[in-house]
Structure 1
Amino acid sequence: MATEIQVTFDCADPAALAAFWADLLGYEIAPPPPGFDSWPEGLLALDIPPERHNDASAVVDPTGAGPRIFFQRVAEGKSAKNRVHLDVRAAPGLEGDERMAALEQVAERLVATGATRLERFEPALPLSAGQIVMADPEGNEFCLD
């Protein structure tokens, strides 16, 4: 039996973080529950108070290949470096200067959408092809690799 995984982010603003990651990964906001045309319609019909409408959000891979990513609101802020992070394969098949230039373009676009650039690691073949460490708008680290 195959096991599926879901990646979960604790965060302060699930809707905003879901929109950021959907854009970065080419994912879509998860559809509303069956029978509803929109999330607001579904949440109201389920008697979820308006102040709880941004307690959670999720994004899904439109091809069905990647894992679902879930964002849940928590009271506490991020306090330390992530022990687990995502590597976003932003330059598959590219090497050397061409690869790093492609990663730089993605990093620049992400900074414009609220990400923070943290560090660049130059290629050190054969073990590392180079990467750029980033943080999403809430400070969760990830690598452009």
Structure 2
Amino acid sequence: MMPYDSGNAPRSFVYHPVFQTIVIVAILLVGPVLLVIGSSMNAADREPVASGSRTTGTVVEVNDGAEASTHNFRVEYFAGDTSSHSVWADWAPDEKPALGSSVTVIYSTAEPSAAVVEGHGTPGRTVTGLGGLLTVVSVVLIVVMASGFAKGRARRRRAD
């Protein structure tokens, strides 16, 4: 039997410099884009909170997924013009709403379908948090890469 020689084994595409560069550039771009999208979503949610009308809504659906991003629930409510609407909100693991429970919904009087559930998160928070995390990872990658380039350059200068 012939011994295994790892020098002849094909390398995975993950080690290819072009693939690594594409991944780094994607992370660098996606983080700030998600920050902007999440911030605009949060700004849109602030308008009903500042000048909206309050009503009582009923929790009609609760999603209890394995990940925190799937912890959300749907609330149905009636606006001032007696039209029925629904809104999704996120919940923290320790604040799971009960099916059929009542919550306060704040909706825009100009557009009753634009609403938020008082005291619960909105998808904009999740998007902003993910964008912030990716941006921090991007900055750390840049610092690590820059220090690696600087050390390599210093070694080459010393070798000359």
**Fold match, TM over 0.5?**
no
Greater RCO structure (CA 8 Å; 6+ sep): 2
Largest Rg, 1 or 2? 2
Instruction: Name the one with the larger helix percent.
Output: 2
Q: TM-score, normalising length from structure 1?
A: 0.26
